[in-house]
């Protein structure tokens, strides 16, 4: 089983039992996304896919800010000449990589919890929208800000629409509207609204304890079922769900869970 690096240049990783805390660590630029940070996140995600010993991933930012989106200085440096006839524009290819990254993050078998404070802008907004659970502070600022600087929220828009629906996404993207935590929860971007950073820590621990009660394989299979809703015909989703049910029912987890229920005790995964 591959393990994580002891240290990263732009990430801080902390393991606590079956939880992995992943902190974006570029506070001097409000944790703006650059190639190094994205590369390290991709590396961590690739390792997490096979880590059944980790049940929850907490994604947050250092310095009191979640993520202010792409590092625009790097975007300007990477702007090159026009592609030759018949060639794929390298700007398009580079942009598409972020969508692949968001898809991989959203499809992790672990429960991904976003602890959001400060700002969640543009690409950072997209990170929130692929989390399973988002806890946001009242004063946190949100925006799909791309159109205000003349670019397109190309890779985050589909994930935002999947989160809150097309009509609301059109409004947010086409106005570059800025809003706070209460509206984020009202729209369905966040799930829990808390007053401040201290309350964020309290709610985060509460949510993680709830996740602790759930079996890892059951959660991973449940995510796969839910993620297919709306993307496949219902009959196919139900067929897949039935197969997932059978896989879970025949697993040691189900045997332990049913035995624990009969014996009126917590299952082993809830107390590890």
Selection from 65, 125, 123, 131 nearest residue 94 by Cα: 123
Cα 112 to the center of its chain, rounded Å: 5
Burial of 254 (0-12, 13-18, 19+ CB in 10 A): middle
pLDDT grade for 271, boundaries at 50, 70 and 90: low
Burial of 62 (0-12, 13-18, 19+ CB in 10 A): middle
pLDDT at 261 over 70: yes
For the structural domain made of 11-212, what CATH number should be given?
Answer: 3.90.226.10
Selection from 253, 266, 177 nearest residue 215 by Cα: 253
pLDDT of residue 178: 97
CA torsion sign for 75, 80, 82, 88 is negative
SS3 210: helix
Q: What residue spans in the chain does CATH classification 1.10.12.10 cover? A: 216-270
CB 163 within 8 A of CB 191: no
pLDDT tens-digit series, residues 144-155: 999 999 999 999
Selection from 127, 86, 122, 120 nearest residue 103 by Cα: 127
Q: What residue spans in the chain does CATH classification 3.90.226.10 cover? A: 11-212
SS3 107: coil
User: Under CATH, what is the fold of the domain 216-270?
Assistant: Lyase 2-enoyl-coa Hydratase; Chain  A, domain 2 (1.10.12)
Backbone phi, then psi, for 146, in 5-degree steps?
Answer: -60, -45
pLDDT at 86 over 90: no
pLDDT tens-digit series, residues 39-71: 999 999 999 999 989 999 999 999 999 999 988
């Amino acid at each position: 089983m591959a393990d994580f690096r002891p240290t990263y240049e732009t990430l801080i990783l902390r393991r606590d039992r079956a939880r992995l805390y992943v902190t974006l660590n570029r506070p001097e630029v409000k944790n703006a996304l650059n190639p190094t940070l994205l590369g390290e996140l991709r590396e961590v995600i690739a390792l997490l896919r096979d880590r059944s010993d980790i049940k929850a991933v907490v994604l947050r930012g250092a310095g009191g800010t979640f993520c202010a989106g792409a590092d625009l200085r790097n975007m300007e440096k990477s702007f090159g000449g026009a592609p030759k006839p018949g060639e794929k524009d390298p700007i398009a290819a580079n942009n598409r990589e972020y969508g692949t990254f968001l898809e991989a993050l959203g499809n992790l078998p672990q429960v991904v919890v976003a602890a959001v404070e400060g700002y969640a802008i543009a690409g950072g907004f997209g990170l929130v929208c692929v989390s399973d659970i988002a806890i946001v502070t009242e004063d946190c600022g949100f925006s799909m800000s791309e159109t205000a600087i003349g670019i397109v929220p190309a890779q985050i828009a589909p994930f935002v629409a999947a989160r809150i629906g097309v009509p609301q996404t059109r409004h947010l993207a086409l106005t570059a509207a800025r809003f706070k935590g209460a509206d984020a929860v009202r729209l369905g971007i966040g799930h829990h609204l808390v007053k401040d950073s201290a309350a964020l820590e309290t709610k985060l621990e509460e949510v993680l304890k709830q996740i602790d009660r759930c079996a890892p394989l059951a959660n991973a299979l449940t995510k796969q079922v839910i993620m297919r809703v709306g993307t496949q015909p219902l009959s196919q989703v139900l067929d897949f769900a039935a197969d997932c049910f059978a896989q879970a029912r025949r697993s040691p987890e189900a045997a332990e869970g049913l035995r624990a229920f009969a014996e009126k005790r917590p299952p082993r995964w809830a107390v590890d």
